[in-house]
Chain A
Amino acid sequence: MEFKTHISVQRLNVFYGNVQALRNITVDIPDRKISVIIGPSGCGKTTLLKSFNRLIDSVDGVRVSGKVLVDGENIFDPNVEVTHIRKKMGLLSQKPYPLPMSIYDNVAYGPRIHGIKNKKELDRIVAHYLKESSLWDEVKDRLYQPASTLSLGQQQRLCLARGLAVEPDIILGDEPTSALDPRSSQRIEQRFLELKNEYTIVIVTHILRQAKRLADYVVFLYFGELIEHGPAEDIFENPKEEMTKEYIKGIIS
């Protein structure tokens, strides 16, 4: 079956110095679905996610071989413009990092850099994406206050709005709820479920229950190796590999 994917990983190896963090990973991430990367801590989940938008570039002594195709373009090709790749993806990190500016400017930051200067247009974008991330009602009266005055849960939704404002096709989440309280986590998860019709979403998590709640597609990594990947129901109900079974039952973690 020939289907076009935004992200296609082909024989990807990543080394940090002499340590190999990812071994020969090949996987296609399905479009407009939530894919969840699961696995124990330190098994390369975040490395895989960050190789999608080449944030691993900033790690010291990193070496990469293999390909990651985004819209058919190998992003590790030396001629590729990194900013152009990153603009296609919004990123939510473990802990929200709002930029040191007002709520409004946080959302307008990306669009401004990419050339939108018109004040009316920016107003529209800011309002639109704050609504998309269900933060608008809470902040509409204080858009010009520093983003650092928001609660952690609100900050994470602000980061979502900021990421969406550059109009990506893909949303990457690196354990995006791990620093949040249960209610805030629930709101973020809710947003993901609503956004998956428009975006391709990839989330890293080590919370198995969260993976079950969200996933359409599951990628299971164990110490840098891709053990199994496939539609969520297959992996959770009927895993083929022994290791996957044990992980899902909670025998290994």
Chain B
Amino acid sequence: MFTSMLIIISSLVLILVTVLAKGLPSMNLAMITQTPKGGYYLGKEGGVLNAIAGSLYLAGGATFLAIFISLPVVLYLNVYARKTSRLAAFTRFSFDVLWGVPSIVYGAFGFTIMLFFGLRASLLGGIIAVSLLILPVMTRAMDEVVRMVPQELLEASYALGTTRFETALKVVVRQTLPGILTAVLIAFGRGIGDAASVIFTAGFTDYIPYSLLRPAATLPLAIFFQLGTPFPEVQGRAYASALILTVIILIISIVSRILTNRFTKHIVK
């Protein structure tokens, strides 16, 4: 057990060290404040602001969209459906299967849908593909916490003459708010770090997206393209981009911790 723990901790440390060691020398203000200038991928001036903005828009939009599907599903599973409901069991099973589907498949699936609607690679396409990708993650993470709500708490609310809808919204959501937030942020983290689902759907561009129907760059793809060049300075920038992505994810984890602590005070054990 100790060895396994050691492996996990050391791999985390190793990743951070690698990204820091290789990324820091290429890190500068221009990286996060400028978009790529002409010849950027040949080692000239510029930064990856296009990808930072694109990633944040894309993951943010996808998370937002996914919440409106996950939360109702989870509330239905836990408040409305009976404990022995076959539909509920099947829904949970489907989400487990969907969780295991590789992200490139979501990318391809999203692409097919886009073609059907005549959409080109765009921010909107990326948002839809990524929201499909993070839906199972978000739903199952929420489900795990909402399942823990004691039946007696629901009954306490019903006994006051409230409907299931009122109980779900006012009691269940409040009781599990920290867990729900964590689920949302986990999903956001998963969405912002994924490359395969956005290759076809969001495309890539050197500009900051200003419309949902325009292509959007993303950090994982920026890392991929920069690493693919034969120039050491551009490869260095790939690590710098990876550093930026890591920092964003780190910030999300810390924020989720803080929010969780703030909202736990009302929880009834």
Which A residues contact B (CB, under 8 angstroms)?
Answer: 53, 55, 58, 60-61, 82-91, 93, 95, 97-102, 109-110, 113-114, 146-148, 159, 162-163, 166, 172
Distance from A160 Cβ to chain B, minimum over Cβ atoms (Å): 12
**CB-CB nearest in chain A for B85:** A60
Residues of B within 8 A of A (CB): 82-84, 150-163, 166, 170-171, 174-175, 265-269
- For A83, A99, A163, the residue with the greatest tally of chain B CB atoms inside 10 Å of its CB is A99
From A87, A102, A147, give the contact of B160 (CB < 8 A): A87
Say which residue of B152, B158, B268 sits within 8 Å of A86 (CB atoms): B158
**Contact between A97 and B265 (Cβ–Cβ < 8 Å)?**
no
Interface of chain B: mostly helix, strand, loop or mixed: helix
Measured CB to CB, the nearest residue on chain B to A89 is: B159
Are B269 and A97 neighbours in the complex by a CB distance under 8 Å? Answer: no
Counted as pairs of residues, one from A and one from B, with CB atoms less than 8 Å apart, the total is: 86
Query: Which of A61, A100, A113 touches B84 (beta carbons < 8 Å)?
Result: A61
| CB nearest neighbor in A for B150 | A97
Asked whether, in the complex, the Cβ of B174 is within 8 Å of the Cβ of A101, the reply is yes
Are A90 and B166 in contact (CB-based, < 8 A)? no
The answer to whether A99 and B161 have CB atoms under 8 Å apart is no
Partner of B161, one of A98, A101, A113, A172: A113
B145 to chain A, nearest CB (A): 13
CA distance in complex: A100, B171 (Å): 7
CA distance A146 to B175 in the complex (A): 12
Identify the closest chain B residue to A84 (Cβ).
B161
Q: How far is the CA of A61 from the CA of B161 in the complex (A)?
A: 23
Q: A113-B162, A146-B266, A148-B267 are in contact. Are A99 and B157 (CB under 8 A)?
A: yes
> By the criterion CB–CB under 8 Å, are B153 and A99 in contact?
yes
12 pairs, CB–CB < 8 Å, chain A vs chain B: A55-B158, A60-B84, A83-B163, A86-B159, A91-B159, A97-B153, A97-B155, A99-B174, A100-B175, A100-B268, A113-B160, A114-B161
Top 10 closest pairs, chain A to chain B, by CB: A87-B161, A91-B159, A110-B160, A100-B266, A100-B175, A97-B156, A86-B161, A83-B161, A100-B174, A146-B266
Q: Give chain B nearest CB distance to A48 CB in angstroms.
A: 16
The answer to whether B267 and A113 touch across the interface, beta carbons within 8 angstroms, is no
Report the separation of the CA atoms of residues A53 and B156 in the bound assembly, to the nearest whole angstrom.
12
A87 partner residues in chain B, CB cutoff 8 A:
160-161
Asked whether A91 and B162 contact (CB < 8 A) given A100-B267, A146-B266, the answer is no
Tell me which residues across on chain A come within 8 A of B152, comparing CB atoms. Answer: 93, 95, 97
A148 and B266 contacting across the interface, CB-CB below 8 Å: yes
Alpha-carbon gap, A114 to B162, bound state (A): 8
Q: Which residue on chain A has the smallest CB distance to residue B160?
A: A110
Complex Cα–Cα for A114 and B166 (A): 11
Of B83, B154, B159, B266, most A-chain CB atoms within 10 Å: B159
- On whether the beta carbons of B156 and A148 are closer than 8 Å, the reply is no
CB of A90 within 8 A of CB of B159, answer: yes
Q: Which of A58, A88, A100 has the most CB of B within 10 A?
A: A100
Minimal Cβ-Cβ distance residue in B for A165: B160
Bound Cα distance A101, B163 (Å)? 18
Q: Which residues of B contact A163 (CB under 8 A)?
A: 159-160
